[in-house]
Amino acid sequence: MNQPLLVTATQKAGPKVTLAVGGVILALLIVLPLLSLLSPDNALHVSAYTLTLVGKILCYAIVALALDLVWGYAGLLSLGHGLFFALGGYAMGMYLMRQAAGDGLPAFMTFLSWSELPWYWTGTSSFLWAMCLVVLAPGLLALVFGFFAFRSRIKGVYFSIMTQALTFAGMLLFFRNETGFGGNNGFTNFRTILGFGITEPGTRAVLFLATVLLLVASLFIGWRLAQSKFGRVLTALRDAENRLMFCGYDPRGFKLFVWVLSAVLCGLAGALYVPQVGIINPSEMSPTNSIEAAVWVALGGRGTLIGPLLGAGVVNGMKSWFTVAFPEYWLFFLGALFIVVTLYLPKGVIGLLKKRGEQ
Amino acid sequence: MRVTASAEFMLEPAFFPVEPNKDEGTSRDSIGLGQRVGPGLDTRHGTILTLEDISVSFDGFRALNNLNLYIGVGELRCIIGPNGAGKTTLMDVITGKTRPSHGKAWFGETLDLTQMSEVQIAQSGIGRKFQKPTVFEALSVFENLELAQKTDKSVWASLRARLSGEQKDRISEVLETIRLTTSVNRQAGLLSHGQKQFLEIGMLLMQDPQLLLLDEPVAGMTDAETEFTAELFKSLAGKHSLMVVEHDMGFVGSIADHVTVLHQGSVLAEGSLEQVQDNERVIEVYLGR
């Protein structure tokens, strides 16, 4: 794992080129929701389907970036990031369900003939509290899990297996009707967010822009971290934890910080995903989702900041085309892709591009 | 050999007159997670490291057996012994990686090493070089030294850390010492084996520990590099205390004023190299006839 950081990669490829490409993509992402507001007759009109699809991919890109912070930099491969994503999504979903239900109970509770809200639904009709939950639920879970895992010095494949088990346990828990999160079906049939219709083109455009903003903010945070001494300590931790300890650094604090940060970013991405896609259910916590996120990062290039974004974009773009064209073969293709990347592109697409740039 | 502590011997003021009414363990209490200990290592009696009656057993196998070892302030001590004599275990005990099943380990007069974590021990001023050169391969030579630098190593401090001019000067000084100035921006993973050894020694220098533990520092070095390392260590002794584990008897002869021979987990002989080499039992178990 000798990937140089993004910083060195871009310095070699020419920062101007990277910035220019980034600027063009950013401009496109800002124009896209505006085009969706045009009347459907206009040639430049962007359909709601396209906007939602791109918005969804952007949310995934944030997850990929968050996963890369812990995997690419700190060397902690999490196979449970889907859990943090789903928790953020559920927190947002609680608010949306309360909005849809008005003064009554959410529909699924009436269906279960419950007469009052469970205690943990308290205050979820307030948007602000729901936003707090979006941060707190994944953040606190990551803090507690990370604290014990890092204190016991669990690393490598054992850590990955435990995160995988954690998201699986979460899925089983949320599948139960008694848990109070809509069981199998999860939350759907959302109507309004902050009083605005959730399917309105304007609301969609704003949600899309918020996603772009979160992505840019995450990228900025990641960039600042990678540039700081903190980022170098993480890389050092990944490559030689013992050496770092004998240098006088306590790895636990560093791991915990980046781990919780990553979980919170995932939660925020989940919270933006749910109103755009219109549904959240326990299958978001299924282990395969988390593994897919690892594939995005590996494909794009670990330990770089642009790589995971590229990976999430490419894989999800292919997925939406493949599942329409050859629905049965998508999972085989995904598996094959992972094998090819592992064997031939250990540094991901970014590594390939960089090599080209040097030649 | 016990050297009397004097202020000019150490980079840090090693001899810190402690007021008699101050209770023992003050400096230990000042160690917190992610904070460095103050300069007040108490070495009143001139010993920087005291190991008494240390035993370590792994599943019934006694790696260390009632071992006693004293290292004086500013001393350069070589530890030799056949394979399996417990040399690496000894280093593990001092750095907190392995806990002794019984015995006492004191750093200075007041720091109980058996009660401290690896990180606390490193922060209080013990640096260790591993047998296999271990550097941060993905980072540049400069960044390796930067991370090792003696400074506040907490998470918050690392998030906002900026190198001061003084710190940069110190890094270039060490680069000069370990002769890596021309490779300053090279990725450490691309260095040769010998260069990595030097980089790791440089990282120890940046850490500025009072006690350096060096596990086979010249393994894989060319003759010229070995000679240079010997010079370097001799220049460090006095300012720092060094404990060197080495198999290369030529190297030991060129640096050591005091040698300890380990055998089956305890001290077999101690003294100058000549004394040790003449010792009947040492010849029998280690040097061969």
The shortest CB-CB distance from B159 to any of A1, A230, A243 is to: A230
DSSP state of B285: I
What would the two tokens of residue B269 be? 């002989």
Which of B105, B111, B122, B96 is closest to B26 using CA atoms?
B111
Q: How far apart are CA A347 and CA A177, in angstroms?
A: 43
Query: B124: nearest CA in chain A?
Result: A248
Q: How far apart are CA A199 and CA A212, in angstroms?
A: 19
Helix (H) / strand (E) element for A193: namely strand A192-193
- Which residue type, as a one-letter code, is found at position A292? E
Residue A58's pLDDT band (cuts 50, 70, 90): very high
Q: How far apart are CA B206 and CA B209, in angstroms?
A: 8
Calculate how close chain A gets to B191, using CA atoms only, in Å: 13
Calculate how close chain A gets to B82, using CA atoms only, in Å: 26
Query: Which pLDDT belongs to residue A14?
Result: 62
Lowest mean pLDDT among B28-42, B100-114, B228-242: B28-42
Instruction: Please answer yes or no on whether A230 and B207 come within 8 Å at the CB atom.
Output: no
Instruction: Please answer yes or no on whether B33 and A236 come within 8 Å at the CB atom.
Output: no
Lowest mean pLDDT among A314-318, A347-351, B41-45, B223-227: B41-45
pTM: 0.87
A222 vs B contacts (CB less than 8 Å):
none
User: In the predicted model, is pLDDT for residue B109 greater than 90?
Assistant: no
Which of A307, A308, A304, A315 is closest to A340 using CA atoms?
A315
Determine the straight-line distance between the first and last CA of chain B, rounded to whole angstroms.
28
User: In the predicted model, is pLDDT for residue B19 greater than 50?
Assistant: no
Lowest mean pLDDT among A202-206, A222-226, B231-235: B231-235
What would the two tokens of residue A32 be? 């896209």
Q: What percentage of chain B has pLDDT greater than the value 90?
A: 46
Residue B5's pLDDT band (cuts 50, 70, 90): very low
Calculate how close chain A gets to B120, using CA atoms only, in Å: 7
What residues form DSSP beta bridges with A196? A193
The shortest CB-CB distance from A2 to any of B130, B160, B189 is to: B189
Strands B111-112 and A196-197: what pairing?
A: unpaired
Residue A12's pLDDT band (cuts 50, 70, 90): low
B107 vs A contacts (CB less than 8 Å):
none
What residues form DSSP beta bridges with B70? B50
B139 vs A contacts (CB less than 8 Å):
232, 235-236
User: In the predicted model, is pLDDT for residue B4 greater than 60?
Assistant: no
The residue length of chain A stands at: 359
A239 vs B contacts (CB less than 8 Å):
136-138
Calculate how close chain B gets to A148, using CA atoms only, in Å: 16
Residues A301-329 pLDDT 10s: 998 999 999 999 999 999 999 888 888 88
Q: Angle formed by the axes of helices B141-148 and A229-239, to 10°?
A: 100
Residues B45-55 pLDDT 10s: 788 999 999 99
A2 vs B contacts (CB less than 8 Å):
137-138, 187, 189
Q: If you average pLDDT over residues B143-157, what whole number do you get?
A: 92
Lowest mean pLDDT among A148-157, A270-279, A331-340: A331-340
Mutate one of A3, A225, A233, A243 to test the B interface: name it (highest B CB count within 10 A): A243
Residues A162-175 pLDDT 10s: 999 999 999 999 99
Q: How far apart are CA A290 and CA A79, in angstroms?
A: 5
User: In the predicted model, is pLDDT for residue B181 greater than 80?
Assistant: yes
What would the two tokens of residue B102 be? 């019984």
Instruction: Please answer yes or no on whether B137 and A239 come within 8 Å at the CB atom.
Output: yes
What would the two tokens of residue A184 be? 């199998």
Phi–psi pair at B224, nearest 5 degrees: -65, -40
Q: If you average pLDDT over residues B213-240, what whole number do you get?
A: 89
Calculate how close chain B gets to A359, using CA atoms only, in Å: 19
User: In the predicted model, is pLDDT for residue B20 greater than 60?
Assistant: no
Residues A64-105 pLDDT 10s: 999 999 999 999 999 999 999 999 999 999 999 999 998 889
| A66, A67, A73, A76: CA torsion to nearest 10 | 140
Strands (E), chain B: 47-58, 61-72, 76-80, 102-107, 111-112, 126-129, 211-215, 241-245, 258-263, 266-271
Phi–psi pair at A295, nearest 5 degrees: -65, -40
Say how many C-beta atoms besides its own lie within 10 A of residue B116's C-beta. 20
Query: Which pLDDT belongs to residue B281?
Result: 85
Which of A232, A274, A183, A190 is closest to A74 using CA atoms?
A232
Query: Which pLDDT belongs to residue B220?
Result: 81
Mutate one of B33, B158, B208 to test the A interface: name it (highest A CB count within 10 A): B158
User: In the predicted model, is pLDDT for residue B60 greater than 90?
Assistant: no
